């Protein structure tokens, strides 16, 4: 699934100025207070930034070859769509899924949207910004409850804020791979 024309480093240089790094007074999803905010959603809703993010993830995932890519709504939605679409064009399609924050209140009451997870599938979790790792852990937990016989092959994120998420992932038996760390964006 190689991009063929640009290295990851070249694509990162094009992507870096498009990552929204804001200064101010913020409360993060984890509840922590911070003097900066990295807005992964506005970043991945820009055409070029999403395209570059998906291409980088596809190169990073080449050695793992997951069957599925997914993550928590809302932060991972755009990336999941882009990675699954581009993987098809590259000849090795990954199916996607989205983990809800709450179960669907009608119909089937599903926590996970997308084709059914099957035993033995390799699953990669995508995330926009990792702080404490809570969102990725929720996604992993929901996947494992839905289909205990899948293999979680790791978490791939746009940015690691360097606030302990990597260590939390490691304690859960999953490695975190990121395009950027906070230090690379400052």
Is residue 1 a part of any domain in this protein? no
Is residue 161 a part of any domain in this protein? yes
Residue 36, domain extent? 8-185
Query: At 44, is the pLDDT very low, low, confident or very high (cuts 50, 70, 90)?
Result: very high
Is residue 2 a part of any domain in this protein? no
Is residue 158 a part of any domain in this protein? yes
Query: At 109, is the pLDDT very low, low, confident or very high (cuts 50, 70, 90)?
Result: confident
Q: Which of 111, 114, 115, 124 is nearest to 152 (CA)?
A: 124
Q: Under 8 Å CB-to-CB from 8, ≥6 apart: which residues?
A: 56, 59, 60
Q: Count the domains in the chain.
A: 1
Is residue 55 a part of any domain in this protein? yes
- Return the residue matching tokens 């990851």: 8
Instruction: Say whether pLDDT at 4 is over 80.
Output: no
Instruction: Say whether pLDDT at 3 is over 80.
Output: no
What are the backbone dihedrals phi and psi of residue 50, each rounded to the nearest 5 degrees, phi first? -65, -40
Instruction: Say whether pLDDT at 1 is over 80.
Output: no
Average pLDDT for 14-24: 97
Could you tell me the CATH number of the domain that includes residue 113?
3.40.50.2020
């Amino acid at each position: 699934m190689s991009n063929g024309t640009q290295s990851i480093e070249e694509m990162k240089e094009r992507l870096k100025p498009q990552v929204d790094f804001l200064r101010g007074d913020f409360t993060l999803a984890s509840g922590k207070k911070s003097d900066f905010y990295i807005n992964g959603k506005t970043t991945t809703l820009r055409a070029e930034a999403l395209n570059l993010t998906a291409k980088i993830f596809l190169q990073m995932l080449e050695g793992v070859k997951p069957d599925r890519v997914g993550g928590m709504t809302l932060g991972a939605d755009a990336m999941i769509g882009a990675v699954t679409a581009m993987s098809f064009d590259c000849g090795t399609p990954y199916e996607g899924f989205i983990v809800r924050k709450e179960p669907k209140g009608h119909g089937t009451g599903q926590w996970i949207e997308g084709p059914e997870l099957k035993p033995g599938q390799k699953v990669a979790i995508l995330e926009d910004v990792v702080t404490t790792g809570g969102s990725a852990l929720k996604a992993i937990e929901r996947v494992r409850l839905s289909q205990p016989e899948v293999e979680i092959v790791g978490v791939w994120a746009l940015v690691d804020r360097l606030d302990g998420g990597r260590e939390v992932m490691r304690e859960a038996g999953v490695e975190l791979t990121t395009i950027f760390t906070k230090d690379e964006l400052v």
